[in-house]
C-alpha cells in the first residue's frame, strides 16, 4: 500500500499567540510530547518553534494513522477536531514535503530568511530519532529538508544580512528609548534565543548586558562570551529597578515576571521600562503591559517590522521558491518509488528463482561444461533476466508506478508481504 506523508500544524499566520503557546513543546517538553504522540502513531516528528507547532507523520491509508497528528494536537489542547480546524492546516504528500522545505528555507518564518529554523528542523529530527519514532522515509525527507534549506541560503541572497526576531526586538526598544548605547539590557534566558539577543545587544553597543537563567552556570558562560554580567534570578527585583530593556526568551512553564514584581520595580524608578517577551509560551504576564510607563511587547508585535523585511527580500524569495519546488519534485520522485519497491523486489525475486531453477535443470544435461563455462552460463542467464526486467522496473519506479504496480502484482501473482 502507498506510504503517505502528512503534516498537521498551526503557525503565526493561522493562530494567535495565546493559542500557539498552549501547543509549544520545545526544550524539555519535547521528549514527553513525543512519548504522548507515540500513543497515536509509531512514526512521527514534532517541529515546535516560536512561530509554529507541526506534527509530521506517515501512514498507509488507515484512518487512525492518517488522523494521528490531529488527534495528538486535540488531546494536548483539550479541544475537538472541529474546534481546532479554524486554526490549523493539514497537508499531505507533495504539499507536505514542499511545506517542510519552505519551513527549513526560512520562507515560512515570521522573519523571512532567518537561520535559526534550519537548526530547529535538525533538532526535531534528532529528538524523534532518540524517541525511536523515525522511519527511514521520514528521516530522509527531513534530512533533505535541511539540505534544501542550506542550498537556498547558498544559491540565493535570502539569508544575507538577514534580520532576526532579536534584532527587531532591540530596534523596537531603541525606537522608544532613543540612545540604545546608554541602555542597560537584561536578557532572561541563556539558551539559543538568549545567545542571539545578547549578541545583538553587544553588537548594538548596549552600555551593559545582564544575563539571568535558572542555571547560573549557563548565565556565567553566556555573560563571559558576550562581555556581560551574570545575575541570579533571586536578585531580579533589584535588577528591574536599574534596567532600561528586558528581553525574555526562557523556556518556562509559568510567568517569570508577574505584575506585582514589575509594579514594585516601577515605584523605584522614573524612566520607562521596555519589556520584550519573545518566548513561546510567554514569560511575562500580559497584565504587566497595563502598568504606567511600562512598554510590553510579545513576539507577534514584531510582525510589522518582519513584513518590511519580507518586502526587501521579494526577489530572493522567488529564487528560493524555485529551489524548493525543484528539490520537492526530486524528493517526491523518490518517495513514489516506496510504494512500488515491494513489487520490484518481489518481481526480481520471482524471476531469479525461475532462472536458478531452469539453470539447475539444464546443467545435468550438459556434463561436459567446464567450471568456467558453467559460470558463463550463470552470468548469461542473469543478464537476460536483467535486460527483460529493466524497462518494467523503470516503469514501476516512474510517475505511474503505483498503477503499474497493482497490475504487475496481479499478473505475476506476486507475494509482496515482507519485501518492503
Asked about 249 being catalytic, the answer comes back as no
* 238 CB-near residues (< 8 Å, 6+ apart): none
E strands in 129-171: none
Q: Which residues are paired to 276 by β-bridges? A: 247, 297
Q: Quote the cell numbers at residue 193.
A: 534565543
Question: Cα dist. 261→73, 174, 295 in Å?
Answer: 34, 24, 15
Longest dimension (CA), the chain: 108
Marked catalytic residue, from 50, 74, 243, 249: 50
Q: Where are the alpha helices (DSSP H) in 268-399?
A: 303-312, 314-362, 371-396
Strand partners, 153: none
**C-alpha–C-alpha distance, residues 96 and 4, integer Å:** 10
321 exposed, middle or buried (CB, 10 Å; 0-12, 13-18, 19+)?
A: middle
Backbone torsions φ then ψ of 72, nearest 5 degrees: -65, -50
Handedness of CA 218, 54, 67, 19 (dihedral sign): positive
- Taking CA 120 as the corner, what is the angle to CA 162 and CA 256, rounded to the nearest 5 degrees? 90
Phi and psi of 108, rounded to 5°?
-100, 5
Q: Cβ–Cβ contacts within 10 Å for residue 189, how many? A: 27
- Among residues 21, 128, 6, the alpha carbon closest in space to that of 67 is found at 6
Among 232, 231, 236, which Cα is nearest to 258's?
Answer: 236
Catalytic residues: 50
Amino acid at each position: 500500500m502507498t506510504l503517505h506523508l502528512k503534516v498537521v500544524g498551526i503557525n503565526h499566520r493561522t493562530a494567535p499567540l495565546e493559542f500557539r503557546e498552549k501547543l509549544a513543546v520545545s526544550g524539555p517538553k519535547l521528549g514527553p510530547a513525543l512519548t504522548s504522540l507515540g500513543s497515536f502513531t509509531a512514526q512521527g516528528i514534532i517541529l515546535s518553534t516560536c512561530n509554529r507547532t507541526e506534527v509530521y507523520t506517515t501512514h498507509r491509508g488507515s484512518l487512525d494513522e492518517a488522523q494521528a497528528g490531529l488527534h495528538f494536537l486535540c488531546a494536548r489542547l483539550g479541544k475537538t477536531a472541529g474546534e481546532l480546524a479554524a486554526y490549523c492546516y493539514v497537508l499531505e504528500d507533495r504539499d507536505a514535503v514542499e511545506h517542510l522545505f519552505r519551513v527549513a528555507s526560512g520562507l515560512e518564518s515570521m522573519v523571512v530568511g532567518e537561520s535559526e529554523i534550519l537548526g530547529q528542523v535538525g533538532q526535531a529530527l534528532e529528538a524523534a530519532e532518540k524517541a525511536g519514532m523515525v522511519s527511514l522515509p521520514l528521516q530522509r525527507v527531513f534530512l533533505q529538508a535541511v539540505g534544501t534549506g542550506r542550498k537556498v541560503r547558498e544559491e540565493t541572497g535570502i539569508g544575507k544580512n538577514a534580520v532576526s526576531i532579536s534584532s527587531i526586538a532591540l530596534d523596537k526598544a531603541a525606537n522608544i528609548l532613543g540612545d540604545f548605547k546608554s541602555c542597560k539590557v537584561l536578557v532572561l534566558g541563556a539558551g539559543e534565543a538568549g545567545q542571539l539577543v545578547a549578541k545583538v545587544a553587544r553588537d548594538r553597543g548596549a552600555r551593559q548586558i545582564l544575563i539571568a537563567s535558572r542555571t547560573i552556570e549557563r548565565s556565567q558562560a553566556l555573560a563571559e562570551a558576550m562581555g556581560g554580567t551574570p545575575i541570579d534570578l533571586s536578585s531580579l527585583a533589584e535588577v528591574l529597578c536599574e534596567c532600561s530593556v528586558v528581553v525574555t526568551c526562557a523556556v518556562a512553564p509559568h510567568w517569570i515576571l508577574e505584575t506585582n514584581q514589575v509594579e514594585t520595580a516601577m515605584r523605584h524608578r522614573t524612566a520607562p521600562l521596555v519589556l520584550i517577551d519573545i518566548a513561546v509560551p510567554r514569560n511575562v504576564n500580559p497584565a504587566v503591559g497595563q502598568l504606567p510607563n511600562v512598554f510590553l511587547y510579545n513576539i507577534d508585535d514584531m510582525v510589522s517590522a518582519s513584513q518590511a523585511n519580507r518586502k526587501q527580500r521579494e526577489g530572493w524569495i522567488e529564487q528560493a521558491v524555485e529551489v524548493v519546488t525543484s528539490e520537492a519534485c526530486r524528493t517526491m520522485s523518490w518517495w513514489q518509488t516506496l510504494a512500488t519497491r515491494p513489487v520490484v523486489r518481489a518481481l526480481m525475486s520471482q524471476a531469479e528463482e525461475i532462472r536458478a531453477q531452469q539453470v539447475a535443470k539444464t546443467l545435468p544435461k550438459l556434463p561436459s561444461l567446464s567450471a568456467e563455462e558453467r559460470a558463463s552460463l550463470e552470468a548469461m542467464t542473469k543478464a537476460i533476466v536483467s535486460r527483460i526486467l529493466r524497462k518494467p522496473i523503470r516503469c514501476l519506479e516512474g510517475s505511474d508506478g503505483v498503477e503499474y504496480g497493482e497490475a504487475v502484482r496481479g499478473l505475476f501473482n506476486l507475494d509482496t508481504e515482507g519485501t518492503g
